A and B are shown apart, each in its own frame.
Chain A
């Protein structure tokens, strides 16, 4: 623990030097753990879903994939003429396009949930 503060000081300078040379930033640290829940005695366990640490990364991938799928569908239909309104049912077409939107929205929700606990106030 605090037994070798001077050594930590040197580690601090080494890290500072490293990040300035490589022009990288230290990895962001999640400040809080997910809120824990424990049920009352006798009650069914109602543990809050714990988001995985990689939730925001998964969310980003989903947003990107969803939007890409939507754009591909739009380009395919309107630019390249792969299919048209008349050639397929409206329901199928909306489902095909909207699936990208749904995936992107789900990814957005994941990112939002991951970042929600952070709220800074000044004492």
Chain B
């Protein structure tokens, strides 16, 4: 399974001298100073004896709901505090930075009008500082315990070395395999979704455009899964498979998909600019969309690298012309500008997994266009992942507020580790390998050949539909990560768990897991079509030269011709075809043949390539059929 270019590396957990990493500490100090100032301003009216109303309003600044508490309205105090917590939740969910301050100031002002039976100001003044002190003490205690856990884990990690995969050869680690009939049925689910008209979204989940169920994330998963299927099964088939990827990429340019940014930028940054790329955040669009293009271009053509090829259109008058290069530039620029190196998705919120997509976009662009975006920021990114976004026990911190420096343990669960390990394997394989190893140590268990996921609620959530129930999505991301890292035993166990347990829905030859969301189904396809180091090979090393030079099947009827395998050694083309809609006599169009040369076709008359290197082959297709096209 390993190649001669693979290397081995020992990857220890970094040691942490301080309870907070430097940039986080700076942000938190700034936030604490701002609160201290607010608390002081809040305490002044009482100290200066400016009257009950002003004292209540001031105490409302010291603590959300504090003014009502002072004014003798305990219920209103709880309501105000609850409103504040909800506003923080909404801020977190969709980025309106202005909301928590508005609620805080608003409830403080209201409490000034309701101070009719004033009591003691002590509770309102003491609660905030006490809460902060408790949080600091709790963090320090946890940190110490995590440092001890990290030291124990390092003892084991010293005995381990991880394989960092190098460039694969044509015959090493890149064995193109054949789709099974089951694979093809699941692939057809994605193909039908992608091949509908550009303005049609039938079959997509429509709940909101802000969080995980947003259309863009479904399009991302759709495109990645189709690209991976092309990479590992049919690299020498473009045709409707490439068209489906293009459709997913071009749907991303529609306002209904990217227009959420105009709102988030307005209420999150108080900025009315709508440009989804030329800004300092929104990696959830630039990083994810960039990777779609990077994967497509690695296997097909460079049309999206031409100026204006990715134009995000707001209306007939306003549009934002971009291309693959401007997406990669924007990511690189934002990494350089951000004190954390990682930069936010929604205004203020930095997610570690989203930034892996940014790294993957830069890496694929560097390989395809000779730039050095990733190389120039790799050290900063690695350092940040290993300090600002890592707990001493090796768990990746899923999110951090760039304004406040805050994160929370909720955000370091196994689902975060799994998805980050998968997407990080391309750019920072050593950290990804270590993260997977830590998961094997703690969270992942196998029972009778079936994967048992953690019993937490988060493991039973389908983020593509926000439904809590089965652990299907957890099994799917485990399958993706396990296969990519090379832990095929776990990958097979996860796949088996899903296949044996889930109800299957079928329509017109397409197949999906009936109760899982569309996004979960598309990521299941990505896991199904993945292989050891598949993502890393595609992003970092790309397609072998022979695949980019040799003949390809450029056009075939769908669903009449299902392409189970298509590969070239640079000269010949090997196909495995299945009928998708009953027996058929049909024509295949080939490209990149040697001009005017004669090619033999197994079981058929030979074909002479045109001067453009094209040729048509007519075949009978009644069952699985192998076709070889080679120079005579």
Across the interface, do B468 and A31 meet the contact criterion of CB distance under 8 Å?
Answer: no
Bound together, the chains give a CA A16 to CA B461 distance in angstroms of 13
Q: A2, B415: Cβ atoms under 8 Å? A: yes
Give chain A residues whose Cβ lies under 8 Å from the Cβ of B220. 1
Tell whether, in the assembled complex, residue A40 and residue B560 are in contact, meaning their CB atoms are under 8 Å apart. Answer: yes
Query: In whole angstroms, what is the CA distance A29 to B345 when docked?
Result: 27
A43/B195 in contact, CB under 8 A:
no
Whole-angstrom distance between the Cβ of B204 and the nearest chain A Cβ: 8
Do B507 and A118 touch (CB < 8 A)? Answer: yes
Interface check B392, CB cutoff 8 A: no
Distance A39 CA – B207 CA, assembled complex (angstroms):
34
The answer to whether A31 touches B514, judged by C-beta atoms less than 8 angstroms apart, is: yes
Question: Using a CB-CB cutoff of 8 Å, which residues 203-255 of chain B contact chain A?
Answer: 203, 205-207, 211-212, 217, 220-221, 239-240, 243
Please pick, from A11, A12, A40, A118, the residue contacting B586 in the complex, using a CB distance under 8 A. Answer: A40
Q: Which residues of B contact A42 (CB under 8 A)?
A: 587, 589, 616
Contact A122/B587 with A2-B463, A36-B196, A37-B559 known, Cβ cut-off 8 Å: no
**Chain B residues with CB below 8 A from A33, complex form:** 192-193, 195-196, 200, 202-203
Question: A8 and B506: CB pair below 8 A?
Answer: no
Contact partners of A31 in chain B: CB under 8 A: 203, 505, 507, 512, 514
| Count, chain B residues at interface, CB 8 A | 77
Residues of B within 8 A of A15 (CB): 466
Most B CB contacts (10 A, CB to CB) among A8, A118, A119 go to A8
Chain B CB within 8 A of A7 CB: yes
A16 to B589, CA, bound (A): 51
Q: A53-B202, A123-B504 are in contact. Are A8 and B461 (CB under 8 A)?
A: yes
A4-35 CB mask vs B (1 if < 8 Å, else 0) is 11111111110110000000001101111111
Q: Are A3 and B399 in contact (CB under 8 A)?
A: yes
Cα-based distance from A3 to B346 in the complex (angstroms): 12
Q: For chain A residues 28-69, which have a beta carbon within 8 Å of chain B?
A: 29-43, 50, 53
How many Å from the CB of B260 to the closest CB on chain A? 15
Most chain A Cβ neighbours within 10 Å, of B193, B202, B468, B587: B202
**Interface of chain B, main secondary structure:** mixed
Report Cα–Cα, A4/B401, bound state, in Å.
13
A43 lies within 8 A of B557 (CB)? yes
B461: A residues at CB distance < 8 A: 5, 8-9, 12
Task: Please report the C-alpha to C-alpha distance between residue A35 and residue B510 in the assembled complex, in whole angstroms.
Answer: 8
A122 close to B504 (CB less than 8 A): yes
- B491-511 CB contacts (< 8 Å) to partner A: 499-500, 502-510
B532 within 8 Å of A by Cβ?
A: no
Question: Which range contains the number of A residues in contact with the other chain?
Answer: 35 or more
Q: Which of B65-73, B107-115, B348-356, B365-373 contacts A (4 or more CB under 8 A)?
A: B348-356
Report the minimum CB–CB distance from A18 to chain B (whole Å): 11
A44 to B354, CA, bound (A): 44
Cβ B195 vs Cβ A38 within 8 A: yes
Task: Tell me whether B419 and A2 are in contact (CB under 8 A).
Answer: yes
CA distance A13 to B586 in the complex (A): 52
**Nearest CB of chain A from residue B231's CB, rounded to whole Å:** 20
Whether A32 and B587, one on each chain, are in contact in the complex, defined by CB atoms closer than 8 angstroms, is: no
Indicate which residue in B211, B212, B398, B588 contacts A41 across the interface (CB closer than 8 Å): B588
Among A1, A36, A121, find the residue whose CB has the most chain B CB atoms closer than 10 A: A1
Mask: chain B, 300-340; 1 = CB below 8 Å from A; 0 = not: 00000000000000000000000000000000000000000
Q: Which residues of B contact A12 (CB under 8 A)?
A: 461, 466-468
CB-defined contacts of A41 to chain B, threshold 8 Å: 555-556, 587-589, 616
Say yes or no: B458 contacts A6, CB within 8 Å.
yes
Q: Does A10 contact B192, Cβ atoms closer than 8 Å?
A: no
B556: chain A residues within 8 A (beta carbon) = 38, 40-41
Option from B411, B510, B557 in Cβ contact (under 8 Å) with A38: B557
Specify which chain A residues have a CB less than 8 angstroms from the CB of B345 in the assembled complex.
Answer: 3
Q: Complex: how many Å from CA A3 to CA B356?
A: 11
Contact B508 A32 (CB under 8 A): yes
Does A86 make an interface contact (CB < 8 A)? no
CA distance A41 to B616 in the complex (A): 8
Chain B residues with CB under 8 Å of A29's CB are: 205-206, 465, 518
How far in angstroms is the closest Cβ of chain A from B466?
Answer: 4
The residue among B212, B353, B419, B466 with the most chain A CB atoms within 10 A of its own CB is B466
13 extra interchain contacts, Cβ-Cβ under 8 A, other than A50-B196, A121-B506? A4-B351, A4-B399, A6-B413, A10-B93, A12-B468, A15-B466, A32-B192, A32-B508, A37-B557, A42-B616, A43-B557, A118-B505, A121-B505
List, sorted by A's number, 16 A–B pairs whose CB atoms are closer than 8 Å.
A1-B220, A2-B212, A4-B351, A4-B399, A7-B211, A8-B463, A11-B93, A33-B193, A35-B507, A35-B508, A36-B192, A40-B588, A41-B588, A42-B587, A53-B200, A53-B202
6 closest A-B pairs by beta carbon, nearest first, are A36-B195, A117-B507, A33-B203, A2-B419, A41-B589, A40-B557
